Amino acid sequence: MTWQEIRQRYPQRWLVLEGFEAYSAGGHWVVPRLEVIAVFADDWKPAWEHYKQLHHADRFRDYYVLHTAREELNIGVLDQFGRVVTE
């Protein structure tokens, strides 16, 4: 699914998503295809806890915690020190 399709289907929700075919361009991640893993209501903390469990189980998969109020994905790329990369 695209981000816009997800936003329409899950308005005003926190989501844990898995990204596929992601690549970086211009200091941001471009994620052409997303799959909704879990849906949460008003609080981001349960979504973050779920993300951490998934990430711990498989660090090679691309998981994201996002709120559907965000109009665009706009996910910044971080370097190995946690700094935002600018290209």
- Reduced to 3 states (helix: H, G, I; strand: E, B; else coil), residue 53 is helix
pLDDT tens for residues 24-46?
Answer: 888 888 899 999 999 999 899 99
pLDDT of residue 78: 74
Cross-strand pairs, 18: 35, 63
Contact yes or no for 68/7 (Cβ under 8 A): yes
Tell me if the pTM is above 0.95: no
Of the candidate ranges 10-14, 32-36, 64-68, 76-80, the one whose mean pLDDT is the lowest:
76-80
User: In the chain, what are the domain boundaries?
Assistant: 3-76
What phi and psi values does residue 61 have, to the nearest 5 degrees? -100, 150
Q: What is the chain's percent helix, strand, coil content, to nearest 5?
A: 25, 35, 40
Contact yes or no for 68/11 (Cβ under 8 A): yes
